[in-house]
Amino acid sequence: MSEIKGVPAIKHSKKIMASMTSASIAIELIQGVLSILIFFFYETELGLSSFLAGMGILIYAVYDAFNDPLIGWLTDRPFRWTKKWGRRFPFVAIFFIPMLLCFLLVFSPPTAIQGSQMGIFGWLVFSTCLFDTVESFFTVNYWSIAPDKFRDQEERRTASSFTVYLGFIGVILSFVIPPMIINFGDISSYALMAWICVAISSIVWFVMLPGIRDDQETVDNYLANAENQEREPFFKSLKSVVTHKNYIAFLILYILYQAMIQLMQASVFYHTRFVIKEQEEVVTLLILTLFLGSLISIPFWKKYTEKTQDNRKTWLLSATFMVIFAAPLTFMASLIADLVILFLWGLAFGGFWIMITPTYSDVIDESVVNSERRKESTYGGLRQFFVNLARVIQALTLAFVHELTGFVEGASKQSPLAVFGIQLHFGLIPAIYLAIGVLIFWKFYDLTPSKVQENKAKLIEKKL
């Protein structure tokens, strides 16, 4: 460790980076299974109406709208244990296992309520809101670690590479495990699937502990600055976040990216069952092809960004290609065609995913420069709200399309119009969502390489 104008320049080993980012395996697995199956499970297996399924997830997101930002604000301050245990470590370590246990409830509705529309609807709302309460304490603080822990651009990109590669494992598992365990029409198989996901995710808890520990020098520096600052009121803190132009531009693209991903994830089982008429195992083949393209492309995107030093440009370019390759999926009705298009889409997806953390970290740096406060959890809380807002877009899109096209809940066959609706929400509709995000980000986000370097110099000067 060296000193730069009194500010510790902390270097981290790849072992620590791998440890910290290993949590992305569990995050992508749990969130992936929810995105893929929650609407399908409640609508197709439990027979909940499309409208009530959409409304249940909407209530879940509205609850989350208050929950995530509030938890972010509550945890963005010193506690009695901060000096000894760190800012983020206690929340991340303590709430991980309860989060997994609450996840089980979503796919374990009591037998007594099955067959009752309001009973199933009530369980959907109860289980998702309980899960979200616990999950927020974990994720809001986990996503706040990287911008503070990794200050160097090269470290951020390296850590982001670990996040992507390890996250790939979680996403692949989220598509591999359900087809291996669940049987269409067997509700208990979904609970078994959830237990297996929890067992795998529990292993991550032990692996991530060394990496999620706060650096003591960073904690000491934070406490020294916090002593001279008054506690910022919640709504004032929230106002400063929502008026941060580059953050809002980042969030809009991020939420519409999440809307695309979650809509395509939820659609893949519908597409496999009703469009190409294949068995559950084919879902695994489709996703492995997508991630093969992503894995091949990641070294290229990383090298390209290192050469240009322009996180903004890489994010825009990769997102644009995602739009171009997603739209044709609407017109694909064979397994071979799906495999080709998904491989090409994966080539672009790898670049977008690897640049999420570096781009977000650039935004957080600017926020610290502007406010002279470190409030990553407040920013993270709002970011988590937007992730759940994407799930609302997913649910309402599915509900709206299914209602318009006459999708029959619980049926083994669908009409040609209902099948076309599935094709729309697998390709064209998510492509339109991301295209809107790309245009807004291109218009309003202005953190160029020179501005990023200028912000880093100011952080060093202000000892932040």
The residue ranges of every structural domain in the chain are 12-208+236-461
SS3 content of the chain, % helix, strand, coil (to 5): 80, 0, 20
Q: d(Cα 132, Cα 381) in Å, to the nearest integer?
A: 12
**Residue 88 has what pLDDT?**
82
The answer on pLDDT for 374 being more than 70 is no
Q: Can you read off the two tokens belonging to residue 130?
A: 């309980």
pTM of the model: 0.70
Lowest mean pLDDT of 83-87, 188-192, 437-441, name the range: 83-87
In terms of pLDDT, which residue wins out, 246 or 435?
435
447 CB-contact burial (10 Å; exposed 0-12 / middle 13-18 / buried 19+)? buried
Q: Residues 345-367: what's their mean pLDDT?
A: 87
Q: How distant, in Å, are the alpha carbons of 309, 329, 389, 423 from that of 299?
A: 15, 26, 31, 32
Q: d(Cα 288, Cα 459) in Å, to the nearest integer?
A: 42
| Contact between 181 and 193 (Cβ < 8 Å) | yes
SS3 at position 86: coil
Q: d(Cα 418, Cα 426) in Å, to the nearest integer?
A: 13
Q: Residues 290-318: what's their mean pLDDT?
A: 91
**Residue 372 has what pLDDT?**
67
pLDDT band for position 291 (50/70/90)?
confident
Q: Can you read off the two tokens belonging to residue 319?
A: 């997102």
pLDDT tens figures, 9-45: 578 888 888 888 888 899 889 988 987 788 888 988 8
Q: d(Cα 266, Cα 34) in Å, to the nearest integer?
A: 9
Count Cβ neighbours within 10 Å for each residue of 326-352 and write b for 16 or more, e otherwise: bbbbbebeeeeebbebbbbbbbbbbbb
The answer on pLDDT for 7 being more than 50 is no
Helix (H) or strand (E) holding 8: strand 7-9
12-208+236-461 topology per CATH: Growth Hormone; Chain: A; (1.20.1250)
**What percentage of the chain carries pLDDT values higher than 70?**
89
